[in-house]
A and B are shown apart, each in its own frame.
Chain A
Amino acid sequence: MSLMSGVRVLVGTRKGAFILTADGTRERWDISGPHFPGWEIYHLKGSPVEPARLYASQTSDWFGQQIQRSSDGGKNWEPMGNEFSYDGIPGTHQWYDGTQHPWEFKRVWHLEPSLRDPETVYAGAEDAALFRTTDGGKSWRELPGLRTHASGPQWQPGAGGMCLHTILLDPVQPDRIFVAISAAGTFRSDDGGQNWRPINRGLHSEYIPNPTAEVGHCVHRIAMHPSRPNVLFMQKHWDVMRSEDAGDSWREVSGDLPSDFGFPINVHAHEPETVYVVPIKSDSEHFPPDGKLRVYRSRTGGNEWEALTKGLPQSNCYVNVLRDAMAVDSLDECGIYFGTTGGQVYGSADAGDTWTAIVRDLPGVLSVEVQTLP
């Protein structure tokens, strides 16, 4: 590990964004922020090909959606285009009471910069749709093939809204994109986002009467290791799942977890079979079982899990960890980070063996990303 290397952790919260930086030892942290104080920052993410280029989703129930862009690693920001219009007549989806309800844009949950071009970014929206900019955020156009899939009228909002919250870009097949929507499920495009198909075979959700339902599953998060993009991991509403075939089929790998309900899931930067989840007691009680905040790690790609507790509160802890609030760096000793609804951001510089609170009293954390800097 070079002593010059470092990490930049991008934290979106209910009341602004924070940027945490450290050198490669990850022992001493500099904290900047709040950026955009008072605004909800659902997500920030940097371009893999131009790390100083950051994008942020800034939202407000009062004043709507903003997209902010930085060209200097988050020191300065400028507002970009904020018009997200559905292509054509938006149509309807299923509402909570089973009636049909018109698609209405509310906010951008997730921004996924292209693996190849710093000007291209994908945006996952609520109500669920995928948008793309190719001019660095000045203008956004929907990729309507997803929303207009024949199953669209059966999609329904989860408790957090009908959000497109996960976008995975395949590093091997550039035209392959995976997305996940609550509560519709997981979808894959093999042609750059023009056409989509649901990839939910093997998922079982008790609240859906049809055991082989194509859509309607509340997928909370999916993850992949870039060296092996056909292997996907999923944290569903209940159940941790695994696919060997790019989502064509799934099998459960919850194994010995104390609860298989949760939100985030992530893969170790250098070990494609090492997976992390944060079990939550239940869909009705969104906090860790027994008041103990435990990350669970599987080194076998699922089924056998170990609790990681050192440095995490093991009594009276009733925070949640949201779906976009866990990330891994790619330093030689893989670092892992997560943020809580109680405003703590925890980091581990040894793949989860030990943890420290980088910061304890931020607003509720919505998202955590990390950039590994040269």
Chain B
Amino acid sequence: MIRVVLPHHLRTLARVGAEVELPVEGAVTPRSILDALESAYPMLRGTMRDHATQERRSLVRFFVCGQDVSHESPDMTLPAAIGAGAEPFFVMGAIAGG
């Protein structure tokens, strides 16, 4: 199972705790994780990436194993620790505003 840590506002929207666990089929990439996340929690569609273009929303960031992968390809293969559930995939709101 993949572990995903959501920011506070998406937790309250999806009514989940700090971390959710998801099965992800095939290659573990940012895209496949977000696809699985949105499939399990449809209210999250459009909150992290654009409905139509699938582009990341500009104030959303993705971190894995201490690295910011927000600007990497959504099809990059993520470290094995993510696929194994040893490390979570972090979705974060960029620091901006109050």
A39 touches B45 (CB 8 A): no
The closest CB in chain B to the CB of A60 belongs to B9
Chain B nearest CB, measured from A55 CB (Å): 15
Instruction: Tell me if B93 counts as interface (CB < 8 A to partner A).
Output: yes
The closest CB in chain A to the CB of B8 belongs to A38
13 residue pairs A–B, Cβ–Cβ below 8 Å: A37-B12, A38-B8, A38-B12, A62-B9, A62-B93, A62-B94, A63-B7, A63-B10, A63-B57, A64-B57, A66-B47, A79-B13, A82-B43
Bound-state Cα–Cα, A63 to B96, Å: 13
Taking A37-B12, A63-B48 as given, write out 13 further A-B residue pairs in contact, using a Cβ cutoff of 8 Å, ordered by the A residue number: A38-B12, A60-B9, A62-B7, A62-B57, A62-B59, A62-B94, A64-B46, A64-B57, A65-B46, A66-B43, A82-B46, A82-B47, A83-B51
Bound-state Cα–Cα, A64 to B52, Å: 13
On chain A, the residues within 8 Å of B12 by CB distance are 36-38
On chain A, the residues within 8 Å of B94 by CB distance are 62
Pick from B13, B57, B59: contact of A66, CB below 8 A.
B13
Given A63-B60, A64-B57, A82-B46, A38 contacting B51 (CB threshold 8 A): no
Pick from B43, B51, B93, B96: contact of A85, CB below 8 A.
B51
On chain A, the residues within 8 Å of B9 by CB distance are 38-39, 60, 62-63
Instruction: Tell me if B97 counts as interface (CB < 8 A to partner A).
Output: yes
On chain A, the residues within 8 Å of B57 by CB distance are 62-64
Instruction: Tell me if A206 counts as interface (CB < 8 A to partner B).
Output: no
Instruction: Tell me if A361 counts as interface (CB < 8 A to partner B).
Output: no
Q: What size tier do the contact residues of chain A reach? A: 10 to 19
Chain B nearest CB, measured from A67 CB (Å): 10
Bound-state Cα–Cα, A203 to B14, Å: 46
Q: B residues bordering A, Cβ < 8 Å?
A: 7-10, 12-13, 43, 45-48, 51-52, 57, 59-60, 93-94, 96-97
Bound-state Cα–Cα, A4 to B48, Å: 46
Q: A residues bordering B, Cβ < 8 Å?
A: 36-39, 60-66, 79, 82-83, 85
Chain A nearest CB, measured from B54 CB (Å): 13
A79 touches B43 (CB 8 A): yes
On chain B, the residues within 8 Å of A61 by CB distance are 59, 96-97
Pick the 4 closest A-B CB pairs, nearest first: A79-B43, A63-B47, A62-B93, A62-B59
A64 touches B47 (CB 8 A): yes
A82 touches B97 (CB 8 A): no
On chain A, the residues within 8 Å of B45 by CB distance are 82-83
On chain B, the residues within 8 Å of A62 by CB distance are 7, 9, 57, 59-60, 93-94, 96
The closest CB in chain B to the CB of A65 belongs to B46
Bound-state Cα–Cα, A62 to B10, Å: 10
Bound-state Cα–Cα, A60 to B9, Å: 9
On chain B, the residues within 8 Å of A36 by CB distance are 12
The closest CB in chain B to the CB of A61 belongs to B59
Bound-state Cα–Cα, A60 to B60, Å: 11
